[in-house]
Each structure stands twice: as C-alpha cells, then as structure tokens.
Amino acid sequence: MHYHKLGTIPHKRHTQFRKPNGELYHEQLFSTEGFSDNYALLYHTNAPTQIVQVGDPFDVSPRIISDKQLKHRCLKGFETKPEDDFLKSRKPVLVNSDCKIIFAAPRLSMTDYFYKNADADEVIFVHVGSGTLKTMYGNIGFSYGDYLVIPRGTIYQMHFDSTDNRLLIVESTSAITTPKRYRNDHGQLMEHSPFCERDIRKPEVLETKDEKGDFLLYIKKQDMMYPYHYLCHPFDVIGWDGYVYPYAFSIHDFEPITGRVHQPPPVHQTFQARGFVICSFVPRLYDYHPLSIPAPYNHSNIDSDEVLYYVDGDFMSRKHVEKGMITLHPGGIPHGPHPGTVEKSIGKKETLELAVMVDTFRPLLMTEFAYAVEDPDYYKSWIR
C-alpha cells in the first residue's frame, strides 16, 4: 500500500497532540512484524486499553473431516443457509496453515458488537449485497464485485443495506499485498500492472465517536473467540496516517491482460500472500492468433491446489456452472476443459466470465461444512 492520512494529526509523530480542552490525545502505533514493516499511527480520543470485562473464550476452529484428499471437488456455496449474525454466518470450507476459505450469508448488520481478527488479514469478496465497512480508520462503501482488504487487528463492523448478502472470505495468516512484480522499487504500481492506485478506494469518512459505555468487541486469536468489553467506543480516532489501513478494490476495475495465444493464470493475479495467491477472471477479449484455442489447455497442478469461485457470466471451459460454486482441483492430478468445450470455444471473440481464483501451495483440507454442500459426483464431470 501507499501512504495515506485522514482526519487531524500532529505535525510530528510521538509529540504532544492536545484536545481543545488541553488533554492529550492517545497515540497508537499499529504495526506489522514488530517495528520493522508497514505501520500506521492512530490518535484516539480515549486510551484504547480501557477494558471493563473479559468473557470466557469459545472455540471457532473449523472441524476438519479429512487431513488428506486427492479428488476434484465441487462445493455449492449458495446452499449456505443465511444467518442473522455476521460471525455465525462464516462457514470455513477449505483450510490450511496459510489461509481459510469461507462462505458467508449474513442477514443483519453488526450493530451491537465489533470484531477484530488478530489471527489473519481478511479479503472479503462481495458477491451479493451492498453496504458500508465501518472501521477505526473510517468508512468504506461496498457493493457487488468489491474486494474488501482488512489488515489483521483492524476493528470493524459490516453494515448491510439489505438482508440478502453473499460473501466469499479469505483469511490469510500473512499480509495480503499486491503482487511484487507489479511494483517498482518504491512500491508504486507500474505501467504493466492490471490496476493502479487510483482504483484503490481508501477510507473516506472518519466518524469520531467520543463515547463511554459498554462496548462489546469479539477478538479472534488462535481460532478462539474472546468477548471483550471496552469502556470507550472503538471508533474514537480523530486522525491517522501511514501505510496500514483497510481498502476496497472492485473486480470490475481489473484490466485483463490478453495475447495472441492463451495466457496462463498468473496474468489474472490480483493479490499475493505467503503460501497462496488470489486472481480475478473478468470479461475479456479472446486470443487473436488465427489458430488460437481460447479454452484453457489441460494442466497439472503439481505443487498447488486450485480453487475457483464462480461469480457470474458464461464459463466457456466448464459445464453446469452455478453462481457461488467452488471447484477444487488439488495438486497432483490434471484437470482441464470439459468435453466439447474446446471445439466450442474456437472462433469465439470474448468471454464474459467473472470468477475469483485462490491458488494455494500447501494442500487444502475439507471441513465438515464443505462436505455438507458438496456435489459428490463432480469428479465424473469429464466423462459426462
């Protein structure tokens, strides 16, 4: 990310910054990897350490059914039953030590509690719904097709405009960043990048809440959920600056890279983390070599598991695609276009598909909920 600031901050860091009544604001360093990586400085109206009560933690770790698998899988995400509560609606389906891939269908906004993920950065892809992500850094509006990137430790609330919401959430145990090959030595996105800084929507409205009372904050740490009660409203920041903050990026602003022949999946990469990448497949022109085959070739994922989440449009390489469906093609066995789709793709000029891909470099494990929404015969789809 690049430098940004919002609200009121002092001229120099770590110096006196006083309220109109003469009291000091409370400076907080929000940093990653200790004091050696990106950070932000936030200035609170009240000390962010005033804890009234700590409740008993409860386990939210995903229930793994099998610690090994080598089979093509299909999960029907829209069979996830909606639930009122945002946190309870989150259903991990595929997990490893680097990430968790989660379906969620929350109906109600988070109005009576706040949330902090102290385990992981989060990428929330908005498939259905709109609303406002409210954070201690300010507010960000969101709608269909938005990625919401939330650094670990960020206190936030999701406020929805309606009760019909479908989210794909990826939790990362390492920092979510833009791909390194898109950035120059100074961190700026370069000319060949499929998006640039002006496509990134940063917090815009900083609502400073100078309120005292009993504010419930759920903190997730090591797959345990800790209920904390704070004396002061978590969104009491008067100003901040730095390189760590939540932001939104729309999949519709991703500019696809095309060529004379079929381009490999890395051209669709949008984010990177340790152990996995996230890619965006968007409407684009097909290859323009006179003998090109637009459909992807068969390929073996020898050292990665490929997850494709289907959002919208017509997928030229697959049959029986549904919105909200996930296909998992594990490392070690080949996969490719369904029968008949290769010939069918020849001569086509464009594709209107919209999808999110997560490629992991460690095997993904199936959870109890994943089995509940699985199409058990998907692996036979290449002979149908």
Tell me the pLDDT tens digit for each residue of 275-294. 999 999 999 998 999 999 88
For residues 52, 53, 54, 55, the Cα torsion angle rounded to the nearest 10 degrees is: -150
Q: What angle do CA 275, 371, 87 make, to 5 degrees?
A: 70
In this predicted structure, the answer to whether residue 118 has a pLDDT above a threshold of 80 is yes
Report, as an integer, the average pLDDT of 162-182.
96
- Domain 81-233+245-251 class, CATH top level: mainly beta
Compute the distance between CA of residue 277 and CA of residue 148 in angstroms, rounded to an integer. 16
Compute the distance between CA of residue 380 and CA of residue 383 in angstroms, rounded to an integer. 6
Provide the CATH topology of domain 256-375: Jelly Rolls (2.60.120)
Report, as an integer, the average pLDDT of 99-109.
98
Closest CA to 213 of 21, 55, 53: 53
Compute the distance between CA of residue 295 and CA of residue 335 in angstroms, rounded to an integer. 13
Q: What angle do CA 176, 138, 179 make, to 5 degrees?
A: 20
In this predicted structure, the answer to whether residue 384 has a pLDDT above a threshold of 70 is no
What is the model's pLDDT at position 299? Answer: 87
Closest CA to 358 of 102, 180, 63: 102
What is the model's pLDDT at position 280? Answer: 97
In this predicted structure, the answer to whether residue 343 has a pLDDT above a threshold of 80 is yes
In this predicted structure, the answer to whether residue 1 has a pLDDT above a threshold of 80 is no
Which residue spans within 35-191 are E strands per DSSP? 39-44, 51-54, 58-59, 64-66, 73-76, 91-95, 99-104, 114-117, 121-128, 131-135, 138-142, 146-150, 155-160, 166-172
Mean pLDDT over each residue of the chain, to the nearest integer = 94
Closest CA to 298 of 336, 346, 339: 336
Closest CA to 217 of 356, 91, 118, 107: 118
Compute the distance between CA of residue 133 and CA of residue 131 in angstroms, rounded to an integer. 7
Q: Over the stretch 219-273, which tens digit does the pLDDT of each residue have?
A: 999 999 999 999 999 999 999 999 999 999 999 999 999 999 988 889 999 999 9
Q: Which residues, in sequence order, are bridge partners of residue 18?
A: 24
Closest CA to 269 of 256, 287, 260, 288: 256
15 versus 314: which is more confidently predicted? 15
- Exposure class string for 96-107: b at 16+ Cβ within 10 A, else e: bebbbbbbbbbb
Helices and strands: H and E segment counts in the chain: 3, 30
Compute the distance between CA of residue 333 and CA of residue 302 in angstroms, rounded to an integer. 7
User: Which residue spans of the chain are classified as CATH 2.60.120.10?
Assistant: 81-233+245-251, 256-375
In this predicted structure, the answer to whether residue 302 has a pLDDT above a threshold of 90 is no
Beta pairing, strands 114-117 & 212-221: parallel
Phi, psi of 184 (to 5 degrees): -85, -175
**If DSSP codes are grouped into helix, strand and coil, which group holds residue 86?**
helix
Which long-range contacts does 61-64 make (Cβ < 8 Å, 24+ apart)?
A: 61/223, 61/224, 62/92, 62/95, 62/100, 62/223, 62/367, 62/368, 62/369, 63/367, 63/368, 63/369, 64/95, 64/365, 64/366, 64/367, 64/368
pLDDT band with cut points at 50, 70 and 90 for residue 67: confident
Helix, strand, coil fractions of the chain, as percent rounded to 5? 10, 40, 50
Beta pairing, strands 114-117 & 4-7: unpaired
Tokens at residue 292, please? Answer: 């090109």
In this predicted structure, the answer to whether residue 317 has a pLDDT above a threshold of 80 is no
pLDDT band with cut points at 50, 70 and 90 for residue 34: confident
- Say how many Å lie between the first and final Cα of the chain, rounded: 46
